[in-house]
Amino acid sequence: MSELTPVLTARWGMPDSWRLETYRRDGGYQALAKALTMEPSALVDEIKASGLRGRGGAGFPAGMKWSFLPKPDGGPRYLVVNADESEPGTCKDVPLMMADPHLLVEGIAITAYAIGCDHAFVYLRGEVVHAYRRLMGAVEEAKAAGLLGQDILGSGWGLELTVHAGAGAYICGEETALLESLEGKRGQPRLKPPFPAVAGLYARPTVVNNVETIASVPGIVARGVEWFTAMGTERSKGHGIFSLSGHVTRPGQYEAPFGITLRELLTMAGGIRAGHELKFWTPGGSSTPLFTAEHLDVPLDYEQVAAAGSMLGTRAIQIFDDTTCVVRATARWMEFYAHESCGKCTPCREGTMWLWGTVLAIQEGRGKPEDLDILADIPASIVGKAFCPLGDGAPSALTSSMRYFRSEYEDHIHLGGCPFDPAASILLEEVAL
Amino acid sequence: MSPVPALVTLRIDGVEVSVEPGTVIIRAAERAGIAIPRFCDHPLLAPVGACRQCLVDVASPGPDGALRAFPKPQAACTMPVSAGMEVHTAATSEAAASAERSVMELILATHPLDCPICDKAGECPLQNQAMSSGRDISRYTGSKRTYAKPIGLTAGILLDRERCVLCQRCTRFASEIAGDPFIALQGRGGSQQVGRFDPEVLGFAGHGEAAPGAPAAARAGLADPADAVTAELVPIGDTANLAPAAGPATTELPPVPEDSPTPGEAPGTALAADGTPFASYFAGNIVQLCPVGALTSTAYRFRSRPFDLVSTPSVAEHDSSCSAVRVDVRGGRVRRRLAGNDPAVNREWLSDKDRFAFAWQSLPERLTTPLIREGGILRQASWPEAIAAAAKGLAEADGVGVVPGGRLTIEDALAYSVVARTVLGTVDIDFRARPHSAEEARFLGQAVAGTGLGVTFDDLVSATRIVFVGFEPEEEGGIVYLRCREAVKAGATIVAIAPYASPGVRRLGGTLIQVVPGGEAAALDALADDAGAMAGTVILLGERLALSPGAFTSALAAERAGARVAWIPRRVGERGAVDAGCLPGPLRPALAAAIAEHGGAVGSAAADLEVPSATNPDGATDPDGVTNPDGTMGPGRPSGADGPVEPGSCAGRDTTAIFAAAMAGEIGGLLIAGVELGDLPNPAQARAGVERAFTVSLEVLPSAVTELADVVLPVAPPAEKPGTYVTWEGRMRPFPQVLVTTAMSDATVLAALAAKLGVPVDLSLTAAHAVLAEAAGAAETPIPAASPPDDPAPLEVTLPEDSVPSTQDPAAPENTIPPAEGSTPASYVPPSPVAGEALLATWHLALDAGRLGSGEPHLAATAKAPFAVLSRATAFEIDVRDGEPLQVSTAAGAIVVPVRIADIPDRVVWLPTNSPSCQVRATLGASAGIVHIEAAPTDQPEVHT
């Protein structure tokens, strides 16, 4: 039985957890002080050795990404933190920035130092104004305390940190679209190569990492590689936040080592909604193929989730019990992708619209048997043919739900309507008046 | 020499092909003759990979040499080739075929499939590729996108958004090639659309009121003011403009007075914050680029079916770039023009003027019948009668001046040159229907005439620095502007020697060397002082430099210092006219000899050239006339000159002198081709000259000249005759006859006239080509070593407001650098205006009141509204504010236009030369010098003449 490993979430319950004072009292910024005594290359090596993988969904080893930067040429190099958390079900970065923004700021300072960057950016989802304010407040505090700005902690090295609020586009979580948006252009993905490590922000070498990835850096620096690698599985090291939402007794953020199973997480979270059974769940957000109850014991790390036919993604575990109409859930997800497709490439722009319209028609009882052929064929016209991963992930829920629950689609068509009571799946919370 | 990179060899569908490293697969496939369908891909635009129609199966060797297949199909338009790569297109791979079919199905899903009413049908890449890779019957049963249709992107370009496949060719053209992004993608996903910063699409509707004090560009929703069209016309030096000295109103973009001209009022055409339409001089290219029927031109929409058109490759007549065009004809009328594909000249692009302005050739008012003045009134006449009348009048006139204008083919220009010299016996011939100078004539004689191909378009692109002097490429150079942008992308820097940085220069990222009008020579000298920087520098000289004393001389000095120099006139025929000898004075020896050999009187040789004939009342042969003592050829004296002609005094009259002499009665006849009196340096004098002299006018359209002429002989417009234009580079651009009509070329008419005058000359194309080939083949007289490179050897200077007839000046023989005498450029001091006066700076806008724009209202609506430019201090001095009407006047008349404050030297005023309501030469009778400026009463912004 895995245990929770609160590292990133350790201070979330503390009073005034977002204050510099609270953070420092708990050992904050000591990792930065330590890092500033090290050679930048040694820091990169340490993160490489820790096996820290990108927490934004793709799981690319962070240290390796840093080492892809070309040799310094005297020009600027940038660190851009991807805080455009928009994947349905994913809700780890925003609470982290709300509750413990200094952890991110310290991680940014250490990473920037490691990669030779003196101007870092956080690209934040614009809708979360509260998190934006917290983060801005933390930057101000850190600056006033000499933890950002000129000559940090007397090291002679300085860092400017800019927090930028996006305008609300899922595509801007894709790193090159994020860079476009950050440069003030339309948020649409760029052609790669060149990769951001070579020509990223303002065509300069750039590292783009997720909030959780960067927030994991201070812990590794402070406590060492061995501490970190003691957690997790062979190729998925360390701790990560598992976001449980939906028909679960105690939804929330559960920080645990990689390799924990949903069965274990559900035990910690008080199980499925009382009186119901698990029907299906997303292991890593709506872009990852659905799992069902048969996958309760799949260890949640990159390799084993993939082996079971899905992706670990952002560990956004959305849980649906037996009251849920899978067609209705899928229609919602398809609407999301049709709404969020940036429109650049044909397969994603047209395919997501077509899928949404077709699933919606079935869910509303207007479906025809031949629609099932469309739902079988069109995903293949998008996946692997779209310009960026948005299109690749868009039909995942549809394709997997067709695999596990095809009969429900057929029922909708034959019945001319939805056999489920939508009210039954709604989560009601008693509110004390 | 950089080593030639080794070629990369790969196989596509089993066909081995070797290409340069970095080539994308789709280009390599073209090389191998393998077709891959595509929409977004275009060879001249950066790869974008948006449409995904070109997906292919790719495998490439790994480090161990074993082929590794990419897990997903790859876009052939974005993936560079690598050695040993194996590519399979739909022809040989089921995966690629499946990808191709699925993308086509998705593209067609929401396409309206309205081919039966679509202009593109029949020449539509989407239609063609839907046939090759689409399904017979669509599986899509949902609703399709519908939009209000069409919307006007400019007055001349319409967009049917529902047909658009969002390939971004048009928006990429606007940002990459033209550099004036007047359109952009808006919205996202299924509602993404091309548009023109549409507040409704962008969700700004109702957000018109921005925070006070916000920058104007920000209020317009533009990310980068430097790139944005709205900001484009914000005066330069806007920091000064934003200073509060002129009152709080200057923090806003100027409101355009309601009664000032506001073009672009076609339906749906939005105006930018400063009242100018979102437009581009190159916008028409997006219509041609569009791979579907989404973009159509107002002029061609619903006019024809592609399969009913007869297409002829031709050459455009609107500027000296002589762009390749394709002329499409249906029912005996030109329906549209498209860019031809000529990599060396215009690539695949065309200026809007070249594309859309062809209606002038077939206007209802076109001259079709010869006219004779009888009893003061022009009446129709038969050709024999009119030719006889013209011949009689010219023969009886005491001296004839020939003004062939700047729009002729080189064959027609040569005909005027030959007829003037051998039939009319005059050297009073000058094609320059615009301000000119003796210095310019010598420059043209030495550095341009007969020099063949000099600096080329490709030389511009490979230059390290391009200097504009008296030249605004965007307004005066047509496609030169796009090639300069190409040069900038390739690393060239741009320097403009001008009174202010025009929007075009700013978009090229150019550096301004600010000069007052007339100060160009000194600036060029200063530039050339840095001799080390002259290699790799190309200096582009505009025709306006004729108004700038010493500038041509300084340009030649810069050339000796290592720069390359090119002269870029505005009009299409000027370079050819120079080569054909349509300048006053004797012909250069090579051309004279060639004419004697091939182009003289029928069936004879040089002897016939020696007959001055008609203008010589006693018919006596002037022994000095042909072979002058200095070796030059041609009749050796100005028309009407009495007595023996002294060697060296054989220069002819220039345009101004011809009209002055006509006005004074010194010459009794004028032979004029396509010339607008309003373009001449002194229109009033020219009018008086035409009124007094016996005038024969060869014209296409009625003009001020034809109204006053004694005999009007209609001639063919370019579409109705074959001929050759010569680019500013010196490149011959032959074109065939597009339309078969009875209209005759100038040369044919002149041949009839010559025959009637008793001097039959062979002015046929064959003869002209023989002459030109002979002249080009002959060794031209080299520049004498007597002029050492460090000798500044200034040409003679003529002050701009002082158009002294050049007959008064001893002209140096051509092809030699004249001796250093007269005032040097350094000694030139521009006049000093006092308060209430300003030095006039002016150049033509690309779209203005020019005659060849006639009949095309949609194009005219995209023209910039005329405006004046003043410095802030000068505006303050005369108490006029940004946007308010300014009156510019001389004794001849006054012009009132809104003023824009910009970084221009104090007491200098810029005006567009020939825009509607701002016709500088016709109204002010001036092209340079001091004019009066004052604030105009705000209730009278119309023109006072």
When CB atoms are compared, the residue of A343, A354, A373 closest to B189 is A343
Q: Tell how strand B930-935 and strand B837-843 pair up.
A: antiparallel
Task: Give me the pLDDT at residue A431, please.
Answer: 66
Beta-ladder partners of A80: A121, A208
Where helices occur in A209-261 by DSSP H, the ranges are 211-223, 225-229
Contact B102 A358 (CB under 8 A): no
On the question of pLDDT at A274 being above 80, the answer is: yes
CA distance A24 to chain B (A): 40
The predicted model scores a pTM of: 0.87
Task: Give me the pLDDT at residue B345, please.
Answer: 96
Task: Give me the pLDDT at residue B939, please.
Answer: 61
When CB atoms are compared, the residue of B71, B139, B190 closest to A349 is B190
φ/ψ of residue B327, rounded to 5: -100, 125
Q: Tell how strand B493-498 and strand B511-514 pair up.
A: parallel
Cα dist from B671 to A24, B429, B556, B755, whole Å: 94, 9, 33, 16
**What average pLDDT does this structure show over A239-244?**
97
- Whether chain A has a CB inside 8 Å of the CB on B640: the answer is no
On the question of pLDDT at A361 being above 60, the answer is: yes
Give burial (CB, 10 Å; 0-12/13-18/19+) of B243. Answer: exposed
Residues 6 or more apart in contact with residue B507 via CB below 8 angstroms:
B179, B180, B227, B232, B474, B485
Residues 6 or more apart in contact with residue B930 via CB below 8 angstroms:
B831, B833, B837, B838, B839, B840
Per this entry, what is the length of chain B? 945
When CB atoms are compared, the residue of A186, A347, A357 closest to B106 is A347
Closest CA to B457 of B621, B631, B320, B307: B320
Task: Give me the pLDDT at residue B828, please.
Answer: 72
- For every residue of B585-650, DSSP letters joined together read SPBPHHHHHHIIIIISBTT--HHHHT--GGGSTT----TTSSS-TTS-BS--S-TT--SPPPTT--
| 3-class SS of residue B110 | coil
Convert the pLDDT of each residue in A101-134 to its tens digit: 999 999 999 999 999 999 999 999 999 999 999 9
User: Which site among B141, B193, B204 would you substitute to test the A interface, given the most A Cβ atoms closer than 10 Å to its Cβ?
Assistant: B141
Q: How far apart are CA B875 and CA B129, in angstroms?
A: 59
- Whether chain A has a CB inside 8 Å of the CB on B69: the answer is no
Q: Which residue stretches of chain B have pLDDT < 70?
A: 1-4, 203-279, 599-650, 778-827, 938-945
Rounded to 5°, angle at Cα A107 from A106 and A111:
120
Convert the pLDDT of each residue in B185-237 to its tens digit: 999 999 999 988 777 777 655 444 333 333 333 333 333 333 333 323 222 22
B161: DSSP letter: G
B863: DSSP letter: S
Give burial (CB, 10 Å; 0-12/13-18/19+) of A422. Answer: exposed
Closest CA to B561 of B383, B784, B783, B788: B788
B311: DSSP letter: E
- Whether chain A has a CB inside 8 Å of the CB on B773: the answer is no
Q: How far apart are CA A383 and CA A45, in angstroms?
A: 36
Tokens 């030469």 sit on residue:
B921
Question: Tokens standing for B622?
Answer: 């002037």
CA distance A239 to chain B (A): 31
Residue type, B369: T
When CB atoms are compared, the residue of A351, A358, A387 closest to B106 is A351
- For every residue of B444-462, DSSP letters joined together read IIIIITT--S-S-HHHHHH
- For every residue of A82-111, DSSP letters joined together read EE---STT--SHHHHHHH-HHHHHHHHHHH
DSSP strands (E only) in B499-572: 511-514, 537-542, 564-568
Measured between beta carbons, which residues in chain A are less than 8 angstroms from residue B53? 346
When CB atoms are compared, the residue of B49, B192, B224 closest to A191 is B49
Contact A347 B72 (CB under 8 A): no
| 3-class SS of residue A378 | helix
Contact A350 B110 (CB under 8 A): yes
User: Which site among A385, A387, A390, A392 would you substitute to test the B interface, given the most B Cβ atoms closer than 10 Å to its Cβ?
Assistant: A385
Q: B901, B250 in Cβ contact below 8 A? A: yes
Q: How far apart are CA B587 and CA B579, in angstroms?
A: 10
Contact B185 A345 (CB under 8 A): no
Cα dist from B479 to A55, B31, B277, B339, whole Å: 51, 28, 21, 11
Beta-ladder partners of B838: B931
Convert the pLDDT of each residue in B816-869 to its tens digit: 334 333 334 455 777 889 999 999 999 999 999 999 999 999 999 888 889 999
Convert the pLDDT of each residue in A45-104 to its tens digit: 999 999 999 999 999 999 999 999 999 999 999 999 999 999 999 999 999 999 999 999
When CB atoms are compared, the residue of A342, A354, A387 closest to B142 is A354
Q: How far apart are CA B938 and CA B919, in angstroms?
A: 20
User: Which site among A164, A344, A358, A368 would you substitute to test the B interface, given the most B Cβ atoms closer than 10 Å to its Cβ?
Assistant: A344
Give the 3-state secondary structure of B461-514: HHCCEEEEECCCHHHHCCCHHHHHHHHHHCCCEEEEEECCCCHHHHHCCCEEEE
Query: What ipTM was estimated for this complex?
Result: 0.94
Q: Indicate if the alpha-carbon torsion angle B527, B530, B533, B535 is positive or negative.
A: positive
Contact B52 A340 (CB under 8 A): no
Q: How far apart are CA B202 and CA B208, in angstroms?
A: 12
Task: Give me the pLDDT at residue B201, please.
Answer: 73
